[in-house]
Chains A and B, each alone.
Chain A
Amino acid sequence: MFQSSNDLPTLEELDRDGALREGAERTGLPRAAFMRRLGAFAGAGLVIGGLPAEFAFAQGSAPPASDIAILNYALTLEYLESSFYNEANSKGALSGQTKSFSKVVAQHETAHVAALKKALGSKAIKEPKFDFKGTTSKQSTFQQTAIALEDTGVKAYLGQAGNIKTKAILAAAASILPVEARHSAWIRNIVGQTPAPDAFQPSATMAQVLQVVKGTGFVVGMASAAPSGAHTGNPSMTG
Chain B
Amino acid sequence: MTMPNRSHDGFTVADFDHEGAVAETAAKAEQVTGGTRAGFLRKSGALAGAGLVAGSIPVGLSFAQGSAPPASDIAILNYALTLEYLESSFYNEAVSRGKLSGATADFAKLVAQHEAAHVQALQKVLGSKAVKKPTFDFKGTTEAQSTFQKTAMTLEDVGVTAYEGQAPKIKTPAILAAAGSILPVEARHASWIRDIIGHGSNPVPAPDAFNPAASMSQVLSEVKATGFIKS
Contact = CB atoms under 8 A, between A and B. Distances in A.
B54 interface: no
A189 B196 contact: yes
Interface string A167-204: 11011001111111111111001100011101111110
B117 A200 contact: yes
B199 A178 contact: no
A115 B27 CA distance: 35
Interface string B151-178: 0000000001000100110000100110
Chain B interface category by residue count: 35 or more
Contacts of A158: 180-181, 184
A196 B111 CA distance: 8
Contacts of A185: 187-192, 195, 205
B3 to A, nearest CB: 27
A97 interface: yes
Residue of A100, A180, A196 ringed by the most chain B CB atoms within 10 A? A196
Contact of B199 (A97, A179, A202): A97
Tell me the dominant secondary structure on chain A's binding face: helix
Contact of B168 (A32, A101, A167, A179): A167
Interface stretch (B91-99, B141-149, B207-215, B217-225): B207-215
A171 B213 contact: yes
B185 A189 contact: no
Contact of A195 (B60, B61, B188, B209): B188
Given A185-B205, A196-B111, A201 B185 contact: yes
21 contacts: A52-B210, A97-B200, A111-B210, A112-B209, A174-B180, A181-B183, A185-B188, A186-B205, A189-B196, A195-B191, A196-B110, A196-B114, A196-B192, A198-B185, A199-B117, A200-B59, A200-B121, A200-B181, A201-B183, A201-B184, A202-B59
List 8 tightest A-B contacts by C-beta distance, closest first.
Answer: A178-B187, A181-B184, A182-B206, A196-B188, A182-B191, A111-B209, A185-B191, A181-B187
